[in-house]
Amino acid sequence: MNQVRAKKALGQHFLTDLNIAQKICNSLAGGSSEAPDKVLEVGCGMGVLTQYLLQRKDIVTYGVDIDTESIEYLHEHYPDFSPRLVEGDFLNMDLKERFGERLKVIGNFPYNISSQIFFKVIENRDIIPECVGMIQKEVAVRIAEPPGSREYGILSVLLQAWYDIEYLFTVSEKVFNPPPKVKSAVIRLKRNGVERLGCDEALFVKVVKASFGQRRKMIRNSLKSQFGDFSGAEHRFFTMRAEQLSVADFVELTNWVAENKR
């Protein structure tokens, strides 16, 4: 098998620039040759990034890809990698059961599921200390933006609650086959020191989503559809918009909602 056909339904755009593949690989911190870290590459494609990951002695690389054609290609071209290669859907994997207590994640993530991949990382934050991903530039900017930016949104808040985010570098559309219509970017997530947010964390997610659900409205009105009418009640955030609130502000708002929701 010479090439894997890129499938639009899977959001596949295969990286062709080896220098960028090497740079992405080098962006991930490792363990040591005596105690290597487990790393899972999501969406291995034709192994452009995989080949550099496999050269590192401070990590043990595993791979997952939903595309049967990619899996066959990788088995053929990287036979030593075969025992650690899984054909399946990363979004449906039980990461803790399969990989244990600590796993780093890396990949040239398909655009159409990049947000879902990050939600999966959040769900598994207790075992994922680091994630390096190449995604659509627009999404990368949104994730990394601080409060007050128009790009700041639901994923920004939820990821920044648990991870320190670094926007590493931008990648031209010209280094992919087929080229996407937008630029890409590589970001790095490193687990911060937060173990508990100090509020009902399931409610926190609901409050964040409701607040951004009608982001042009003030917080009082945004929360109404999910939590009822707070008219008559006062809170310092009620006259603000969602993008103005930090993670700590949303924690405070969540605790207020928990005490006052109807």
Calculate ∠ Cα 172-109-18, nearest 5°.
50
pLDDT tens digits along 181-230: 899 999 999 999 999 999 999 999 999 999 999 878 899 999 988 888 88
pLDDT tens digits along 227-258: 888 877 889 999 999 999 999 999 999 999 99
Prediction pTM value = 0.93
C-alpha pair distances (Å), 107 with each of 15, 167, 209, 218: 11, 15, 27, 37
Phi then psi for residue 218, to 5 deg, are: -70, 155
Q: Which of 130, 100, 133, 128 shows the shortest CA–CA distance to 29?
A: 130
- Where along the chain do the CATH 1.10.8 domains lie? 201-260
What gap in Å lies between CA 126 and CA 129, rounded to an integer?
Answer: 8
End-to-end CA, the chain: 61
Amino acid found at 83: P
What topology does CATH give the domain 201-260? Helicase, Ruva Protein; domain 3 (1.10.8)
The CATH number corresponding to 8-191 among 3.30.930.10, 3.40.50.1110, 3.20.20.70, 3.40.50.150 equals 3.40.50.150
Local mean pLDDT, 10-residue blocks, the chain (262 residues): 70 86 96 91 94 97 94 94 96 96 95 93 97 96 92 95 97 90 96 95 96 89 88 88 97 95 68
At 75 the pLDDT is 95
At 6 the pLDDT is 66
At 33 the pLDDT is 83
- Where along the chain do the CATH 3.40.50.150 domains lie? 8-191
